Chains A and B, each alone.
Chain A
């Protein structure tokens, strides 16, 4: 069966510090990978998606970047965090881009920027 891991689970960082969040998927090959952010009490907003190694697409301009160095590894980064980067970050995977493929989420990382 497939599992998705994210770490760290929680993170408190000062403004201006760097960020690296990691997501890994087990039990599948060449998945589509997604990074979402959820502000408090709100819905999820797609930040990045990847259909293969080294292929990253950004949905919204922002202070963050993403990379996919390995097939089942997806990393979210920032060189200098802003207060507005605080939120709940969720990684997700699906088999393909077809509308009927379910998308499964990791446990999330709760980021607080002070």
Chain B
């Protein structure tokens, strides 16, 4: 079984500052992928970033980076230079070897203040 824990129901950040969204996971699969999705108020799920369990380097995609600490089973999302458009719900998810299904956390609502 796989599990994702996001302990921050809500986070606030000032525009142009960096913010870290926490994610811890649990899995028995030897190979797995960790994903972050953004869900704005429209409801669409937007893929942000991916980290493979065997990747040596932390993933980066523009202003998004994933702080992957395998020993601690954490995969925190770092958003640099926050923008007002970053205000949304953010989900961490894990994908193992069982038919590729994603297991999601409960999400963190990020609010960016001007």
Contacts and interface: CB of A to CB of B under 8 A. Distances in A.
| Size class of the contact patch on chain B | 20 to 34
Interface residues of A, number: 29
Contacts of A102: 35, 47, 50
Contacts of B96: 99
A94 B99 CA distance: 10
Contact of B47 (A59, A104, A110): A104
Interface string A29-55: 000101010000011111001010000
Q: Taking chain A's interface residues, is the majority helix, strand, or loop, or is none over half, making it mixed? A: strand
Contacts of A105: 37, 44-45, 47
Contacts of B105: 43
B106 interface: yes
A44 B104 contact: yes
Nearest to B103: A46
| 4 nearest A-B residue pairs (beta carbon) | A97-B100, A105-B45, A43-B104, A99-B33
Interface of A: 32, 34, 36, 42-46, 49, 51, 57, 59, 88, 90, 92, 94, 96-105, 107-108, 110
